[in-house]
């Protein structure tokens, strides 16, 4: 059950960066871009998992459902466009920095509620899984970079797909945490 959730979380949170990977790979090479992307994903995941585990240790499990409203909010609001063209001298560290700065607030807000539901062992497993997904995503970006229909589809529907995934992840968190049951019990 968590495997599908975590895959959806990664895809939803990284779909916008996928579009950026295509020109980064073309301009600065596959190896440096991929390594930088994986380092960025690992750093983002580590920050989010640490915050999630601290939240889990402090608060009752049903309160995690309140955090599930954050991805729903992002899904309804939509992602804010950010200026990503200011990074000219790219290497492994700057690609990682680009990922962390361009995706940090949204991704942390999405990752923390989900990761706060996991055990430490699950968090470690899915951290490696996210790095694997980052590598696979880079390969897909490399091969799809020259396909015009794919670029058109991402330009036209990428935001809508990302929003839908955010909303579904948030609803899953709200339902899985027991928040609705707690509210129902308090009211009736």
Tally the domains of the chain.
1
5-58 pLDDT tens trace: 899 999 988 887 887 788 778 767 899 999 999 999 999 999 999 988 888 788
For the segment 170-186, what is each residue's pLDDT rounded down to a tens digit?
787 788 778 888 899 99
Range of the domain at 155: 2-182
Give the residue among 133, 107, 112, 115 at the shortest CA–CA distance from 2.
Answer: 115
Which of 66-80, 92-106, 137-151, 166-180 is modeled with the greatest confidence? Answer: 137-151
* Residue 158 belongs to some domain of the structure: yes
In a domain, 171, yes or no: yes
Distances (CA, A) of 48 to 14, 143, 173, 179: 15, 30, 15, 21
Phi, psi angles (nearest 5°) of residue 81 = -70, 140
Residue 32 lies in a domain: yes
Are the beta carbons of 26 and 145 closer than 8 angstroms?
Answer: yes
Please report whether residue 123 resides in a domain.
Answer: yes
Q: Quick one: tokens of 10?
A: 């990664």
pTM of the model: 0.71
Does the residue 31 lie in any domain? yes
Is there a domain that residue 147 lies in?
yes
Residue 187 covered by a domain: no
The pLDDT tens digits for 76-97 are 886 554 444 444 444 687 678 7
- d(C-alpha 69, C-alpha 171), whole Å: 7
Asked whether residue 121 is assigned to any structural domain, the reply reads yes
């Amino acid at each position: 059950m968590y495997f599908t959730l975590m895959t959806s979380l990664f895809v939803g949170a990284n779909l916008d960066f996928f579009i950026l990977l295509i020109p980064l790979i073309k301009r600065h090479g596959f190896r440096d871009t991929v390594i930088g992307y994986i380092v960025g994903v690992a750093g983002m995941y580590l920050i989010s998992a640490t915050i999630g585990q601290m939240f889990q240790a402090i608060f009752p499990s049903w309160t995690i459902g309140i955090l599930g409203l954050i991805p729903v909010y992002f899904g309804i609001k939509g992602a804010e466009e950010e200026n990503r063209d200011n990074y000219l001298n790219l290497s492994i560290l700057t690609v990682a920095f680009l990922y962390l700065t361009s995706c940090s607030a949204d991704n942390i807000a999405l990752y923390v509620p989900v990761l706060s539901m996991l055990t430490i062992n699950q968090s470690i497993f899915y951290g490696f899984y996210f790095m694997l997904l980052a590598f696979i995503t880079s390969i897909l970006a490399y091969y799809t970079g020259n396909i015009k229909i794919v670029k058109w589809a991402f330009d036209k529907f990428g935001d809508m797909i990302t929003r839908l995934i955010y909303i579904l992840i948030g609803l899953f968190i709200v339902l899985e945490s027991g928040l609705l049951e707690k509210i129902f019990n308090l009211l009736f």
